Amino acid sequence: MQEALPYKTWLPAPQQPFLSLPPMDYRSVMAPRAGSDIKSAVSENAVIVVSRRGCCMSHVVKRLLQGLGANPAVYDVEEHEEDGVVKDLEGIAGPGEGFDRRLQFPAVFIGGRLFGGLDRIMATHITGELVPVLKQAGALWL
């Protein structure tokens, strides 16, 4: 028979005074890095899903692609980074890529090009066209 572990009351950690630093605008610091990261991530990966952190629709896209055998790279975007990332993605996709409104998450890039969002992924999966597209991009080997 197993022994029960004794219950121990934990005391709170002593409070350390915080250093007072001048306020900093993190958006200006993060914006250049985020743009270069997303551009290199799109060009280096066969399939990448750019998603809003915690979005259920993004989870559906990721699970569908994983179920098909593709292992997509995932770029999660925080709420405060969304506007900058959307502008960078629209710059990568270009104006003639088939969208006439603002890019929405999840955005799936296959082979370095904007493929679409959840609706396009689901439609091509249902018609059976998604697997050949993934094979052509090098995301599937079989």
Q: Where are the domains of the chain?
A: 30-137
The pTM score is 0.68
> How confident is the model at residue 63, as a pLDDT?
93
Confidence (pLDDT) at 4: 60
Among candidates 108, 102, 116, 132, which has minimal Cα distance to 140? 132
CA distances from 136 to 109, 120, 133 (A): 13, 17, 5
Instruction: Classify 30-137 by CATH class.
Output: alpha beta
Q: Check residue 27 and give its pLDDT.
A: 41
The span from the CA of 95 to the CA of 54, in Å, is: 28
Going residue by residue through the chain, which has 142 residues, state the pLDDT in tens, using 9 for 90 and above: 566 655 555 555 555 554 444 554 434 333 444 556 778 888 888 899 988 888 899 999 999 999 999 989 998 888 888 888 888 888 777 655 554 456 788 999 998 888 988 999 999 999 999 999 999 988 887 6
